[in-house]
Amino acid sequence: MEIKVVKDKIAGGQAAFELIKAGMAHGAKVLGLATGSTPVTLYDAMCNSDLDFSQMVSMNLDEYVGLQPDNDQSYHYFMKEHLFYKKPFKASYVPDGANPDIDAAAADYEKLLAEHPIDIQILGIGRNGHIGFNEPGSDLDGKTQKVALTQSTIDANARFFANEQDVPRFAISMGIGSIMKGKQIILIAYGEDKADAIKATVEGPVTNHVPASALQNHENVILILDEAAASKLSK
**Residues involved in catalysis:** 62, 128, 130, 135
E-assigned strand segments in the chain? 2-6, 30-33, 57-60, 62-64, 91-93, 120-123, 145-148, 170-173, 184-189, 221-226
Q: From residue 149, give the alpha-carbon distance in Å to each of 172, 204, 234.
A: 10, 23, 31
Query: Whole-angstrom Cα distance, residue 29 to residue 23?
Result: 9
Under DSSP, is residue 61 helix (H, G, I), strand (E, B) or coil? coil
DSSP state of 164: G
Q: State which H helix or E strand residue 78 sits in.
A: helix 75-79
HSE of 205, CA atoms in CB hemisphere, 13 A: 3
Query: Whole-angstrom Cα distance, residue 122 to residue 62?
Result: 12
